[in-house]
Structure 1
Amino acid sequence: MELRELRYFVAVAEELHFGKAAQRLGMAQPPLSRAINRLEQRLGTALLERTSRKVTLTVAGGVLLDEGRAILGAVTAAERRTRRAATAHPGIVLAAKSGTGGELLTKLLDAYAAESGAVTVELLLCEAHQHQLLLQDGQADAALLHLPFDSAAGLDTETLCTEGQVAILPASHPLASRSHIRMADVTTLPELPMARWPDPSGSYPEGPGAEVRNLTQLFQLVALSRTTVVVPESSGADLRRDLAAVPVLDAPPVTTAIAWPPHSRLRAVAELVRVATLL
């Protein structure tokens, strides 16, 4: 199987439309269809179910889509990391969700910078569920995850710390003055529906709460009394004055972990992980 064929198949499998896939690939539709037919013949199985109205994946096609994404991501990652290594001062990239990490992130960067032989660490701020893609395609070399909210599937990880959660409320709200609350208190507020985060596909669950992608946007909406949210304690540190963080006693704990691709052989990443586990 050639990488070109794999790219063709992944495009069709993701678009589920030959015309859109051809446009995405910058080619005509007939040669794309012929390439997919040849790939199916070579593998001896149907990858796609085609009708006049739609295209769907077979079970085998679903397997190849998952494997193909991983392979293409690894190739892209290898290209990016090779180019980065060829620069005058190669460094590594650490991904973290915007507004998270706080004191831990500062400690990690300072502690690593003090190590002999430390390289430059570029901080890549991202949104929910972007970590895996950034690591898979080489845009990032390591990432800080919050489990169980972030997926660590296919990644190597080391646990750094575990913490409780807090509800972020407008400072003027009656619950904001309490020493603690429970999940039932915050999830049943009709005037402050829970914020909705996107799933890995980018889709939002149904509900009345605001659609959010990062903490900066979220905190602005909470301050305007449009929504509320339960987040790790560290995310509620150093809040703006019009917000309050109230501990939620029965919220599940959140574990912060550092993650990296299992095939990584970068010494700087190994050193960053080692320093992180010593904090």
Structure 2
Amino acid sequence: MTSWPELSAVELFVAVADHGSLGAGARAVGMAQPNASRALSRLERGLGITLITRSTTGSKLTAEGMLALEWARAVVDSARALVEGTAGLTAPGGPVLMVSASQTVAEHVLPRWLAELNRRRPGVALDLRVANTAAVIDDVRSGSASVGFIESPEAPRDLHSQVVATDELVLVVAPGHPLAEHAGALSTKALRSLPLITRETGSGTRVTLEEALGAPARTAQVLPSTAAVRLAVQAGTGQAVLSRLAVDDALQAGTLLAVPLDLDLSRHLRAVWAGPTRLSGLGAELVDAATTMH
């Protein structure tokens, strides 16, 4: 493909599949039927497949269309989350929620939580800071954030906390790396001695790893973001222990490989806040949205 498909045509395709005919699908997305027919034809030409067969009795998905439907639905859902989530970032005059979140949370799960909050409470504006777990904790302590989201094994004793989601860390390497052919699970002793590409001190991922190892990680390179660590590993620079949330798409695509470990690196993602034991207001609504969606 040389260009992206029109999002409106993808939305139309999903609507036709859901409603059973081109006319009903067009009405559902607010498109005139002649325009809908042309849009669907352009989408099929761009994708190089026939999605729907049309007849006087309705529209029926082809075999290729049935496969494409779930991918198309994911595109529409993601676009809706983008629009609904960013609406909360720019809503003028409404209540403002101050949030501080670790990189993994901010990049991979917070957008869905914010979209759900915006669905429940339209017009909420967001003041968001993205930092490592140590800095998030400082933001909450100082009052710069009403609620924070962290990845460390335990919350500080001077803050209140609630588990909102679960995650696990995985040792990842590029295809062709010697560890990709490792037989069986890598031992904890071997992982302790393995030079790793890591995040900086204070990162929740690094804190979780070092607590599980019972020793400081052996670092080959320290980079300032999860994305930078992942790219370095994909380039064949070395190996890293990263959140599954951050690498799941690469594992599915085969651009990264997970090396089995004999060490349990599962962890909780937590909301943290200061003040009263019971969180209230918009912060409580966001935490409820996160917990409900897990």
- What is the TM-score normalised by the length of structure 2? 0.52
**Which residue number corresponds to residue 9 of structure 2?**
none
Length, aligned pairs only: 188
CA-CA distance at 1:145 after TM superposition: 1.2
Determine the C-alpha separation between the residues in 1 that align with 2:217 and 2:115: 41
Match of 1:127 among 129, 132, 146: 132
CA distance change for structure 1 residues 151 and 96 in 2, over 3 Å: closer, same or farther? Answer: same
The equivalences for 1:199-278 within 5 A come to 199=202, 207-239=218-250, 242-263=255-276, 267-278=281-292
Confirm or deny that 1:97 pairs with 2:102.
yes
SS in 2 for 1:147: coil
Match of 1:107 among 102, 109, 112: 112
Find the counterpart in structure 1 of residue 185 from structure 2.
181
**2:160 aligned partner, one-letter code:** D
SS for the counterpart of 2:109 is helix
Q: Is the 8 A contact 1:145 1:256 kept in 2?
A: yes
Residue 171 of structure 2 contacts residue 258 of structure 2 at CA under 8 Å; is this kept in 1? yes
Cα contact 1:183–1:250 (8 A) shared by 2: yes
Change in Cα spacing, 1:108 to 1:194, as seen in structure 2 (3 Å) is: same
Greater shift after overlay, 124-133 or 174-183?
Answer: 174-183
Provide the residue aligned with 2:198 in structure 1.
195
Contact kept? 2:170, 2:243, Cα under 8 Å:
yes
> How far, CA to CA, are the matches of 2:271 and 2:155 in structure 1?
12
Q: TM-score, normalised by structure 1?
A: 0.55
Distance 2:144 2:273 in 1: 12
* AA of the residue aligned to 2:286: L
Contact map agreement 1:181 1:249 (CA 8 A) in 2: yes
Q: Secondary structure at the match of 1:164?
A: strand
Measure, in 1, the Cα distance between the counterparts of 2:240 and 2:129.
24
After superposition, the CA RMSD in angstroms is 3.5
Aligned amino acid, residue 162 of structure 1 = T
Distance 2:197 2:191 in 1: 6
3-state secondary structure, aligned to 1:257 = strand
In the TM superposition, residue 252 of structure 1 has moved relative to its aligned partner by 3.0
- 1:168 partner SS: strand
Task: Give the Cα separation in 2 of the matches to 1:173 and 1:209.
Answer: 16
**In structure 1, how many angstroms separate the alpha carbons of the residues matched to 2:123 and 2:115?**
11
The structure-2 alpha-carbon separation of the partners of 1:142 and 1:227, relative to structure 1 and needing over 3 Å to count, comes to: farther
Instruction: Specify the alignment match of 1:166 in structure 2.
Output: 170
Q: 2:80: which partner in 1?
A: none
CA distance in 1, matches of 2:111, 2:217: 36
Q: 1:180 to 1:206 in 2, by over 3 A?
A: closer
SS at match of 1:248: coil
SS in 2 for 1:238: helix
Instruction: Report the Cα distance in structure 1 between the residues aligned to 2:148 and 2:184, rounded to whole angstroms.
Output: 31
**SS of residue matched to 1:130:** helix
Q: CA deviation at 1:199?
A: 4.2
Residue 154 (structure 1) shift: 1.8
How far apart are residue 186 of structure 1 and its match?
5.9
Please name the residue that 2:11 is paired with: none
Query: Cα–Cα, structure 1 residues 161 and 247, in superposed 2: closer, same or farther, change >3 Å?
Result: farther
Instruction: Give the conservation status (yes or no) of the 8 Å contact 1:168–1:222.
Output: yes
CA distance in 2, matches of 1:188, 1:173: 18
Residue type matched to 1:210 in 2?
Q
Structure 1 residue runs of 5 or longer lacking an equivalent are: 1-86
1:135–1:142 Cα contact (<8 Å) kept: yes
Q: Give the aligned partner of residue 157 of structure 2.
A: 153
Structure 1 distance, partners of 2:101, 2:155, is 13
